[in-house]
Amino acid sequence: MQTAGALARVARECAEDLAADGVVYAEVRFAPELHVERGLALDAVIEAVLDGFRAGSAGTGLKIRALLTAMRHAARSLEIAEAAVRWRDRGVVGFDIAGAEAGYPPSRHLDAFQFMQRANGHYTIHAGEAFGLPSIWEALQWCNADRLGHGVRIMDDIAVDPDGNAVLGQLANYVRDVRVPLEMCPTSNVDTGVCASIAEHPIRLLRELHFRVTVNTDNRLMSGVTLSSEFAGLVDVFDYGWSDIRWLTVNAMKSAFIPFDQRLALINDVIKPGFDAVLSDG
């Protein structure tokens, strides 16, 4: 994916696949710095991807936006953050860092996050997947992340006694109290060894404790999943019903980076009526 044509095609097919899966709103993250090996400028990369998103979503009802990701082991995060702001009225809604957590703390990219804050921008940080509570703490208390990518290791701050009663530590309480969205990716977490199976994934307990959990695919290609299959897995293992799926879906829409009125319109005019129709039939 090192030419504008290839990037536009992949983005178009991504949008088409999401629309076919019944997704009504998506934020797709990609790292522009990984697509410049043959001379494309960052802006040309972004433009090609956004062109593909528009082509693939045209006439489908899908609203698709981009999150620009900086690789945390590299040194281009401020440059990527500046691009996110430069393109935010043209299809980009936020900024992100991704890559290996261990050895590359989010505070290493503090200048990029502060730039986003000064520009009134939104950003999410991958934290609490392969590394533990210090990664989550830094992402929130040093870098002021709007959302946490994964965040499953927040379970390290929750003790469950033999009777099933949960006691939250200070960081877990903070995450729940201020409604930090946790971008849960169950299948990916099993694939990477964060947990042994979906049945052992903490999403069920976190949902029961009323954390702001959402369901995500992480990497649809590598994990071989769709959003529908992620939900189906939760239904099979946890016996979730339509009301649980609706709760998780509304959580995701509440946590999106588009303006509040647009989020509210999608929730009230599209998502809730869609679930009401399914529930009335069932």
The counts of H helices and E strands in the chain are: 13, 9
Give the list of residues 6+ apart from residue 16 with CB closer than 8 angstroms, or none.
56, 57, 60
Query: Which stretches of the chain are DSSP H helices?
Result: 4-20, 42-57, 77-86, 110-118, 133-137, 170-177, 186-191, 203-208, 220-223, 227-238, 242-254, 260-266, 272-281
Task: Give CA–CA dist 217/183, Å, rounded.
Answer: 9
Q: Is 37 an active-site residue?
A: no
Tokens of 144: 């002021």
Tokens of 132: 């533990």
Cβ burial of 44 (10 Å; 0-12, 13-18, 19+) is middle
Q: Are 27 and 94 in contact (CB under 8 A)?
A: yes
Please identify which of the residues 27, 101, 129, 138 carries the catalytic annotation.
129
Alpha carbon 14 to its chain centroid, in Å, reads 16
For 274, the 3-state DSSP assignment is helix
Tokens of 165: 């009663």
What is the largest distance, in Å, between two alpha-carbon atoms of the chain?
A: 60
Tokens of 105: 């703390």
Short-list 74, 71, 83, 72, CA closest to 44: 83
Q: Which residues are catalytic?
A: 129
